[in-house]
Amino acid sequence: MNTGLQVFDTLSEDLRREALTHASYTNEDREGGPNNERLEFLGDALLGAVIARVLFVACPNATEGDLTRMRADIVCGEALAAAAERLDLGSQLIFGRGEELAGGRSRIRNLAGVFEAVVGAIYMGKGLRSTETFVRRSLKVEIQRVVNDGVPVDPKSALQHLCQARWHSAPEYFTVSEQADSPEERFYVEVRAGDRFLARAYGSNKREAQRRAAEHACNSFKDNENSSYKDGYLESPENHMKELSHYESRARA
């Protein structure tokens, strides 16, 4: 038993199963019971409220904007996925066969989602006090880092704040192409906010490519603010399609 999940393990079997059941399972098995999407929705709202209160008390001199950015950094997908990994939630997820074969247990979105669902389940089964305790303990690393050091001004965090302020939508990163024989430019990653194309970039690993794509998008926010919002693009997709064609031609060579 993971000690961080003690309160979760005392919930009813039905509630625990619902929190751990990915939508792919119920999509493949109509008699598989409810999935965790409703609990995920509830947990997302609870996380925002709990972390807001923690920061309000811990950072009395922080402005509203500072608190908003700090909260966003703590409850972002990567942070929640890291907490889920510490709790070993990925190994307990119940997937459909397709998502399982596609590597769903290690996907940031799935890990962050199951963490939110567990928060929602604890609230439904044990109430707010137990939920606050679980959130504080599970996100202790992220909370202490932000309270002590503030939000790092890295491109991905900056882009997240810009997208949420402009469109109320978080950026998402997709691997467009991968070239095994080019170590410095192995991954080609695209970043989007909803259906809006933002930027693409190369990197020796996915994290570096994502950081560079976020940096390009942030720069485009600054340089092309007025014209970009009219058509929903930050950077020209035509330019990036040329880059991708060049990249893929090198990969085939």
Are the CB atoms for 29 and 97 separated by under 8 Å?
no
SS3 55: helix
Active site residue 238: no
Q: Considering the candidates 44, 142, 190, 235, report the single residue annotated as catalytic.
A: 44
Beta strand 196-203 with 187-193 is: antiparallel
Query: Which residue stretches of 139-236 are H helix?
Result: 140-149, 155-167, 206-223, 225-231
Backbone angles phi, psi at 35, to 5 degrees: -100, -175
Q: Considering the candidates 18, 40, 99, 116, report the single residue annotated as catalytic.
A: 116
Active site residue 44: yes
Strand-pairing partners, residue 21, are 94
Q: Return the number of other C-beta atoms located less than 10 Å from residue 215's C-beta.
A: 18
Contacts of 136 (CB under 8 A, 6+ apart): 50, 54, 143
Contacts of 151 (CB under 8 A, 6+ apart): 66, 69, 70, 72, 73, 157
Exposure of 90 by Cβ count < 10 A (0-12 exposed, 13-18 middle, 19+ buried)? middle
Gap between the Cα atoms of 217 and 180, Å rounded:
26
SS3 63: coil
As annotated, the active-site residues are: 44, 116
